[in-house]
Amino acid sequence: MADWTTISDTSVDPDAPLTSQLGYAWRDNPIAIAEGATGAPRILIGAIERLTTGAQVRLRNDGLAGAATGTALDFGILQSGSITVEFTPRRTATTVDLVRIRGGIPTSIYSASGADTARTRTISVLPGDRITLAWTGSNADDGISAARMRTGGADYWPVSIAAGVPEGNTYN
């Protein structure tokens, strides 16, 4: 791990000499920031890569059946932006609910019955959001044959949803 070195204003004045200590600080300080070294400034949530919609699968769950009810996707969001969620209900009797939960308040993105047709929805997301994709049916043949979360190439940073709902964070 790189150490953080505070660079004084006098060491970068126009007439200040270029020292090896200053060169090492310029080299090591960005690494120290990324590694969270003691004394280094912290990276804020808004600096994390934004999510955009697209075709790159970042989260998937296949072959979901065998129960009258179930959950295909349930994940938390650390980044802001937009994602694409795609899914295919297995039977006409299957009701699918796609929900975004923000600050503890659920918002329905999609809720309908139908079968064998892929559905695609774009969802605007913020850090702390939770996305759930669940089904309700009448027998064990109900379910979702494919569930995907896609981005435009941005990496998805997974976040645990079991620990509670984040609140009070600032991001842009």
CA 88 – CA 69 distance, rounded (Å): 15
Predicted confidence at residue 164, as pLDDT, reads 57
Co-location of 76 and 128 in the same domain: yes
Co-location of 74 and 133 in the same domain: yes
Co-location of 23 and 64 in the same domain: no
CA 126 – CA 148 distance, rounded (Å): 19
Report if residue 157 sits inside a domain. Answer: no
Q: What is the pTM of this model?
A: 0.76
Co-location of 74 and 147 in the same domain: yes
Task: Give how many domains the chain has, as a whole number.
Answer: 2
Report if residue 3 sits inside a domain. Answer: no
Predicted confidence at residue 80, as pLDDT, reads 92
Task: Output the domain CATH number for residue 96.
Answer: 2.60.120.1050
Residues near 26 by beta carbon (within 8 Å), at least 6 away in sequence: 7
Look up the domain containing 96 and give its range: 56-151
Predicted confidence at residue 86, as pLDDT, reads 93
Report if residue 4 sits inside a domain. Answer: no
pLDDT in tens, the chain (172 residues): 899 999 999 999 999 999 999 999 999 999 999 999 999 999 887 788 899 999 999 988 876 666 778 888 899 998 999 999 998 887 766 788 999 999 889 999 999 887 778 889 999 999 889 999 988 887 777 778 888 999 999 888 877 665 555 555 555 5
Co-location of 128 and 65 in the same domain: yes
Predicted confidence at residue 161, as pLDDT, reads 66
- 3-state DSSP call for residue 9? helix
Co-location of 79 and 117 in the same domain: yes
- 3-state DSSP call for residue 70? strand
Co-location of 27 and 102 in the same domain: no
Co-location of 35 and 101 in the same domain: no
Co-location of 60 and 18 in the same domain: no
Backbone angles phi and psi of 144, in degrees to 5: -130, 125
Predicted confidence at residue 115, as pLDDT, reads 73
Co-location of 21 and 60 in the same domain: no
Co-location of 118 and 144 in the same domain: yes
The DSSP secondary structure of 11-34, one letter per residue, reads GGSTT----HHHHHHHHHHHHHHH
